[in-house]
Amino acid sequence: MGSSFADNLQKIRYRDGIIDGYTSRLHYTSDWIENGVRQGLLEDVTARNSAQTTKLSLSYMSTHPKQYKHLADSPENVKRMAEYEKALSGKKVHWLPKNKLPDTGLPWIMDGDVIAITTKLPGLDIAHVGIANFVNGKLHLLHASSTLGKVVLSEEPLSQMLNNNKSWTGIRVVRMSHP
């Protein structure tokens, strides 16, 4: 039986590909990465190229339920989300500190890689996500800009974007696996 776009999307977006309510969706990027690696859909490129690690400490969604429509009036969803956060917290992940990323990027980062921007905001793992895009030898980010309300290619190199944001600490890089 052929695999459809919807089936693949479900595999990518939901924990073990199973839709079981709001909390089964992979809301935290680190959860999405781990799920994708486990299913053979993603490769954590950072793990092979950066020795720097950090321990996840997730609590943002369960401690800010009013910011999420499906958590605001559902103590049950908040409880389940807190359980997922707790299960992920303490896991060690590789990342690249922003002071180690030059304007030109690094040889192991390729066009089309998924760039997840790490943050020091308490309880959160990733603040923003985009796609690596090299322009004139410099690494830029193709991303959805909340300010502009559309997908744009960053005007400045990714390293400058990172340096301009005090709460952003670095990046994680993942690549779609090719069967």
pLDDT digits (tens, 9 = 90+) for 40-56: 999 999 999 999 999 99
This prediction's pTM: 0.93
- What CATH number has the domain bearing residue 76? 2.30.260.10
According to DSSP, the residues that pair with 108 across neighbouring strands are none
Q: What is the mean pLDDT of each run of 10 residues along the chain (179 residues)?
A: 76 91 94 94 96 97 96 96 96 98 97 98 97 98 93 97 98 89
Q: Got the DSSP string for 37-90? A: HHTTSEEEHHHHH---EEE----HHHH-GGGSHHHHT-HHHHHHHHHHHHHHTT
The count of C-alpha atoms lying within 13 angstroms of the C-alpha of 138, restricted to the half-sphere facing its C-beta, is 13
Predicted pLDDT of residue 1:
43
Q: Are 98 and 171 in contact (CB under 8 A)?
A: yes
Domains of the chain: total: 1
Residue 179 is predicted with a pLDDT of: 61
| pLDDT at 177 (0 to 100) | 87
Structural domain of 79:
5-176
Question: What per-residue confidence (pLDDT) applies to 3?
Answer: 66
